[in-house]
A = this chain, B = another copy of it.
Amino acid sequence: MIKAVLFDTFGTIVDWRSSIAREGAAVAAQKGVADFDGDGFARAWRAGYRPGMARVTAGERPWVSIDVIHRERLEEILPQFGLPMLDEDERDHLNRAWHRLTPWPDSVPGLKRIKSKFLISPLSNGSVVLLSTIAKRAGIPWDFIFSSDMHRAFKRNPAVYQNAIRLLGMAPDEIMMTAAHNDDLEAARKEGMRTAYINRPTEYGIDQKVDFEATSDWDIIADSVEGVADGLDCPKI
């Protein structure tokens, strides 16, 4: 019997690519940058995400939050996108665009349904302020928040899943992990958790190379959070 359902956030619940493209384009317009490629900017920024976390996970640098990794990657790409003139406040504000990501249309309606039967929380690489700010702006009704800075580790480090299980004080198979990324679910299944896959084939746009479909027999396979709610027999609201 499932008691809690955890969710990856970037890509699974929120559409980071269009959110970041929009914020980048707004800054570029304000600075008079012509021919700004908002989608390319979002994809280039995101391309620093996994390598940035990998250095922490490999022990090559001490723990830093995802906000620091986002900021370092932003510094790298600002010149190539014609925005080297941004001052500290402008860079800080733009970096917090990751705190203002907007959900996919099915996310909030689906989460409300799942919340009616289960405890719901992100299990995300975001920081607690990032995740709670996104939720507050978007009306995502998390029961609580598991952020990477609470675990001081990033997925797919097994410590993240183990720590979540320990904090919940539940049997692993009483907890379901939901993600649009097969490797996240593989890591959760290794710890004994149940799994739900949501297909988000447009998450990375032209950069997307994997996760066009479920690559294993996950407990639920769906195209939306509403689909996961259906799979969990959650009532319509």
Contact = CB atoms under 8 A, between A and B. Distances in A.
A135 B170 CA distance: 19
A114 B226 CA distance: 31
A129 B168 contact: yes
Interface residues of A, number: 24
Contact of A169 (B121, B127, B135, B143): B127
Contacts of A144: 128, 131-132, 142, 144-145, 147
A169 to B, nearest CB: 6
**A contact face: mostly helix, strand, loop, or mixed:** helix
Given A169-B65, A169-B127, A143 B149 contact: no
B119 A133 contact: yes
A73 to B, nearest CB: 18
A135 B143 contact: yes
B136 A143 contact: yes
Interface in A82-139: 115, 119, 121, 127-129, 131-133, 135-136
Interface string A140-153: 00111101011000
Given A115-B136, A119-B132, A147-B167, 12 more contacts: A65-B169, A119-B129, A119-B136, A127-B169, A128-B144, A129-B168, A129-B169, A132-B143, A142-B144, A144-B144, A144-B147, A145-B145
